Structure 1
């Protein structure tokens, strides 16, 4: 593992984060975070969504229903597989016992 001294660009900060092999100072990370927050705020200002709560609630309800339906379908399929396994076990037992009695 290489021990490279910090570059002059990152030596201004006492700590730095390594991202994809590049050192980014804490100050630079803070700047990036602030610009991200500003961009998100600008997006919300330019594209207001007054019903975003109603749609979130509806989406959450739809998602919950889909999960419930999926769980029911999985439970049904597991039940079918258990029944098939029981039949296969009975058939295998019958075949095994039949071959023993024929010897």
Structure 2
């Protein structure tokens, strides 16, 4: 089987969902608005078109200009808007979050050093206890040898008399 030349190939058509079309339209409107905003000399009307109150997202949800998530019925989702408010960087909130993160990191480092110092003290105590145990074992071994020598001498004295 031979392939037909590229000039004779028939184009393939793909079904595009309504959501994909909406997102393409939103991207196009945003791109055109950005172009008009950055290059007003290319604008035919001479005025800047208003930015739409929504922008596309990667998951298909629509976001209003204040970045509140909109559900399928067009109502804002409370937990998403609260989360967005928490994550929206305002200068005082960003400063406070930065301070909190740095404080937590410093506390973590201090706790690690405290733990290491405590472990170092425990290792020293265990080393001392081990040395004392070895010294006691050595002393006990010498006492056992002396006791065996005394028993041997006592046995020799009884047998010789």
Would you call these one fold, judging by a TM-score over 0.5?
yes
Shorter-chain TM-score: which interval? 0.5 to 0.7
Match of 2:139 among 68, 87, 98: 98
TM-score by length of 1: 0.55
Structure-1 residue corresponding to 2:79:
40
Q: From the CA coordinates, give the structure whose radius of gyration is larger.
A: 2
CA distance in 1, matches of 2:139, 2:102: 55
CA distance in 2, matches of 1:53, 1:46: 12
Q: Greater RCO between the two (CA within 8 Å, min separation 6)?
A: 1
1:45–1:68 CA distance, 2 compared to 1 (3 A): closer
Which deviations, in whole Å up to 9, do the C-alpha atoms of 1:41-67 show, x marking residues without a partner? Answer: 443688888332111101100001101
Match of 1:83 among 124, 127, 133: 124
Which deviations, in whole Å up to 9, do the C-alpha atoms of 1:56-90 show, x marking residues without a partner? Answer: 10110000110110111011111111110110011
Structure 2: 5+ residue stretches without partners = 1-70, 145-161
Structure 1: 5+ residue stretches without partners = 1-33
Alignment RMSD (CA, Å):
2.9
Structure-2 residue corresponding to 1:58:
99
Instruction: Provide the aligned length of Structure 1 versus Structure 2.
Output: 69
